[in-house]
Structure 1
């Protein structure tokens, strides 16, 4: 069979096929796409570790149907893929998803070409993690699923709404995460929470930054009710991100409920 020659892409393309139930089918499609675009530099991989070593400017991620639907699988996949998204942005590249959605609008030409030539109704891509939207936004923020967080289960209040923590006692970290890799730049953390009356005069400690370098902010509360805390931190280079919330001092009584966590680039 003679393959029809296609115009070359302007950039070197990488196709990452994630492991899953139909990954063999996707790999076959990806290799056929590479053969059809022989005039272009197209790399195919099934591993983020390998992908990070390849010289590709634009990465197209194909999510195979996952072999596990557990929350832990989705969390680990989001963290793993964040390494490739971060690396692409750090090196002036781009990432996008096969199908109708893309992490970067500038990837539309490659995404549309791959979708038109390869994607079929009978071969549906998996659901991509919403957290990865933050890599395609220059302003605003992206909500981070609570599944991406670690929680201090010994401080959870039984029978209370989700993520309600008892602050009574010695200072202790209540919640931390999400351990996604972010590229260099200015990154903003937004945390929404609710404090009850007995904890309304406490000092909360927020830590935000990379695992290697983070900033600590002690914030004095002055009332019960809803709060929205915004913290900006500069990333010198790509690194794993972590925030931590705890009481700054011992607390006689009181509860805090975490309502939302969002991360995004600052508008500047």
Structure 2
């Protein structure tokens, strides 16, 4: 049993390492995602020890190096990008873990179920739908141009509170077929919880899936070697070597 636990933990780490990206312009480009800093937010760099000392948050979010924080310092947001696995990715994973399920259509559901289990216990994992809200399809389309959006929030226990005051945790998942998914994480105070919708409305400005066709045929900037600049000209993405 312990062997399978180790394999499972390593598989999660390996897949996250492979597919979970920081806010990287190149990865955003390959997914057709536009990013901008939302209004009333600024860049946030957590202390290096912040998550090392908080096991629950480290299990939920990893150890994020950078995020954004509201101008009033009441609401913090991080996000991770999970691109669709390439053929090479799948070959590497299946060679290490034969039969591993890499279906992009369920990977974000597995992440959510795992987080719900961490927050509420083993039994909650099986009834995870009771803890989350699905946005209506038309709202997901309008706000993010996504196929689906799933959100949830939770009150943290006293020993899990971040930096002594951020006692609420939340997550928002957005996904689009064949385009990967994004996992937002939120840490916010009781004061921010009372105005939660207002903060989320600002966060919604940060990411948006482009309507594109043919982007997959454009050279992947990761294959060009050396520094590259990715920019948009009209409705078309362009890539050039150099900065």
Same fold (TM over 0.5): no
Higher strand content, 1 or 2 = 1
Larger radius of gyration: 1
Please identify which structure carries the higher helix content: 2
